[in-house]
Amino acid sequence: MKEIKTIGVLTSGGDAPGMNAAIRAVTRSAIFEGWKVYGIYRGYEGLINGDIKEFTSESVSNTIQRGGTILKTARSQEFMTEDGRVKAYENIKKFGIDALIIIGGNGSLSGAQILAKEYDIPCIGLPGTIDNDLYGTDSTIGYDTALNTIVECVDKIRDTATSHDRIFFIEVMGRDAGFLTQNSAIAAGAEAAIIPEDKTDIDQLEQFISRGFRKSKNSSIVLVSESPKDGGAMHYAERMRNEHPEYDVRVTILGHLQRGGTPTAYDRILASRMGVAAIEALNEGQRNVMIGIKNDQIVYVPFSRAIKIDKPIDRELIHVLGVLSI
């Protein structure tokens, strides 16, 4: 394996709180090793267009507390083409980059896997996504902050729901994963969570009516995953209005506010540990792996497993909410 002297770091896909802490950790750890660091702006799009700048320790000063990503991010359609990846590799050679560190979610790591395979360049991934849907890690960068943001919002909506005797269907991000929905439902004391993973022969809305909503309850909160397969909160609210017109129903879609805000201490520490671990992984000769955390220990997860294996939700969480929602 070629000796590493220069690395590039980029953030791709959806932004997540804690990405800046990860960029900071990667940059300073690499400089500590005596390596040169290039920040690649706007993800793979910036790699294609040569939007690349050398980073120093000062480049990441005063960033650990900031949400979003100082490197910007974008979803690159061109990188999905062979010609786009040729341009990206030409810039990798032009700037003398020996290895890449990619901070992002499933799509970002998939791009890294393809690039590594086609051009034999070492790539290390950091799981940066609020969805917490990457296999092989207990938590992803940004998940804890998003979870706390959702709980804060639900607490505020609860005041209105109680004051007006209403049922609120609140839509939560997560794509096809219900980790945010299920855990924020427990933390916020919601009456139900409708998630993609809780697929049974029992209709989830009817299950809520029979299990999680009693006539003695004048208000209720139902958290719904945004999964397009089910139609999200609007779908369930409309069904509720049609099938149970006696209830006053409202919908709140939390949307992108879940991605923003100052990262929690947990996300800052997690991102810092993973950033340092990424550089250590390259020093050990690791390549094409995602840095994960299992039982509070850093682990290396091959891209093929992190991307392709569906991360299972803890079924006990569904049981806990069912018991507590009576």
pLDDT by residue, tens only, the chain of 326 residues: 679 999 999 999 999 999 999 999 999 999 999 999 999 999 999 999 999 999 999 999 999 999 999 999 998 999 999 999 999 999 999 999 999 999 999 999 999 999 999 999 999 999 999 999 999 999 999 999 999 999 999 999 999 998 998 999 999 998 789 999 999 999 999 988 999 887 654 566 777 676 555 555 667 899 999 975 677 899 989 988 998 898 899 999 999 999 999 999 999 999 999 999 999 999 999 999 999 999 999 999 999 999 999 999 999 998 998 888 87
- Contact by Cβ (8 Å): 139, 311: no
Largest Cα–Cα distance in the chain? 70
The pLDDT, as a whole number, for residue 201 is 47
Q: CA 55, CA 64: separation in Å to the nearest integer?
A: 15
Q: How confident is the model at residue 200, as a pLDDT? A: 54
144-259, superfamily in CATH? Phosphofructokinase domain (3.40.50.460)
Residues 6+ apart with CB under 8 A from 136: 290, 292, 294, 299, 301, 305, 306, 309, 311
324 token code pair: 């507590």
Residues annotated catalytic, as ranges: 131
User: The domain 6-142+263-308: what is its CATH number?
Assistant: 3.40.50.450
pLDDT given at position 37: 98
Task: Give the Cα separation of 227 and 233 in Å (integer).
Answer: 9
> How is the chain split into domains, by residue range?
6-142+263-308, 144-259
Q: Do the domains spanning 6-142+263-308 and 144-259 agree at the CATH topology level? A: yes
